[in-house]
């Protein structure tokens, strides 16, 4: 597998179109895992993925063949998503002006929360995440889904460390509240 991948990558370095197609097919699912967390619709996610894949092809000569390939392209994909977020939103203004932190005082235990998520439809799960405010969603995705630290999130999004923590706290509070509501609805039903 690794040797096949190396062959494809070397052909891609020579701008072989067949190899580019093969690499696209090979990377699509992995890149899509990242993209669906940042974009609500599949079309938008694919557009983001294609933008990221183009960056992969353009920067392929910088890739160190001794390192694992897929983490490398995942990093490029996350950075592409951040760039896309910066372009699409006047994020800085939003971040700076928004000072209040959403808090949720209710209680929702992890077990019932997992059960609710398990029973949710795919659309409901997507809506749950993408209903978050954009900045909170970015911080939540980067911290909880992609495993970045608060320091890295703050650097990537060009915000303060405190803001990163605050947005994460808000995002979690909103998610918990919605999950709690879902739980109550389920109980009623």
Whose Cβ is closer to another protein: residue 147's or residue 188's? 147
Q: Can residue 177 be called a binding residue for another protein (CB under 8 A)?
A: no
Q: Can residue 2 be called a binding residue for another protein (CB under 8 A)?
A: no
The CB-of-15 to another protein minimum distance in angstroms stands at 5
- Residues 159, 95 contacting (CB under 8 angstroms): yes
SS3 category, 13? helix
Question: Taking contact as CB under 8 A, which single stretch among the options 11-19, 99-107, 149-157, 158-166 is the one that binds another protein?
Answer: 11-19
Question: Taking contact as CB under 8 A, which single stretch among the options 42-50, 76-84, 86-94, 99-107 is the one that binds another protein?
Answer: 42-50
Q: Can residue 78 be called a binding residue for another protein (CB under 8 A)?
A: no
Of 44, 86, 89, 129, the one binding another protein by CB under 8 A: 129
Q: Can residue 53 be called a binding residue for another protein (CB under 8 A)?
A: yes
The CB-of-165 to another protein minimum distance in angstroms stands at 14
DSSP string covering 22-83: HHHHHHHHHHHHHHHHH-SSHHHHHHHHHHHHHHHHHTGGG--TTS-HHHHHHHHHHHHHHH
SS3 category, 84? helix
Angle separating helix axes 42-58 and 69-88, nearest 10 degrees:
120
């Amino acid at each position: 597998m690794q040797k096949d991948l190396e062959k494809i990558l070397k052909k891609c370095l020579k701008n072989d179109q067949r190899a580019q197609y093969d690499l696209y097919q090979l990377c699509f699912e992995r890149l899509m895992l990242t993209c669906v967390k940042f974009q609500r619709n599949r079309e938008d996610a694919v557009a983001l993925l294609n933008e990221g894949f183009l960056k992969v092809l353009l920067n392929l000569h910088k890739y160190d063949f001794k390192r694992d390939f897929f983490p490398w392209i995942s990093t490029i994909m996350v950075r592409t998503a951040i760039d896309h977020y910066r372009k699409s939103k006047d994020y800085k203004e939003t971040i700076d002006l928004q000072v209040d932190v959403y808090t949720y005082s209710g209680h929702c235990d992890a077990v019932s929360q997992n059960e609710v998520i398990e029973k949710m439809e795919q659309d409901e799960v997507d809506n749950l995440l993408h209903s978050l405010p954009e900045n909170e969603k970015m911080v939540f995705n980067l911290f909880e889904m992609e495993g970045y630290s608060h320091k890295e999130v703050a650097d990537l999004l060009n915000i303060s460390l405190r803001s990163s923590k605050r947005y994460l706290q808000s995002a979690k509070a909103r998610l918990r509240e919605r999950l709690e509501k879902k739980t109550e609805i389920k109980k009623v039903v």
